């Protein structure tokens, strides 16, 4: 009877440890996913910023092209 109780306690302890490890791994995975999303959004924001600057760059190139001919 004592051995059975010890086995059950040991199994319960291992179950708690495994659950804690799974929780930690889930937290790590969630953090990685959040970091990937943040990186993706930053890239999209940088691309949008570049597109926003495109009209002024085109105008500057047109001006330079016009000055080169004149």
Return the structure tokens found at 10.
Answer: 């040991």
Cα 25 to Cα 37: distance, rounded to the nearest angstrom:
18
Domain range summary for the chain, segments of one domain joined by +: 2-68
Q: pLDDT, tens digit, for every residue of 24-61?
A: 999 999 999 999 999 999 999 999 888 888 888 788 88
**Distance from the Cα of residue 18 to its chain's centroid:** 26
Cα 45 to Cα 8: distance, rounded to the nearest angstrom:
55
Return the structure tokens found at 30.
Answer: 């969630």
Return the structure tokens found at 55.
Answer: 């009209």
For the entire predicted model, the pTM comes to 0.58
């Amino acid at each position: 009877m004592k051995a059975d109780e010890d086995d059950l306690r040991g199994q319960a302890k291992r179950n708690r440890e495994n659950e804690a490890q799974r929780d930690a791994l889930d937290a790590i995975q969630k953090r990685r996913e959040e970091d990937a999303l943040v990186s993706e959004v930053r890239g999209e924001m940088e691309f949008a910023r570049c597109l926003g600057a495109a009209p002024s760059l085109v105008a500057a190139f047109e001006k330079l092209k016009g000055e080169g001919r004149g």
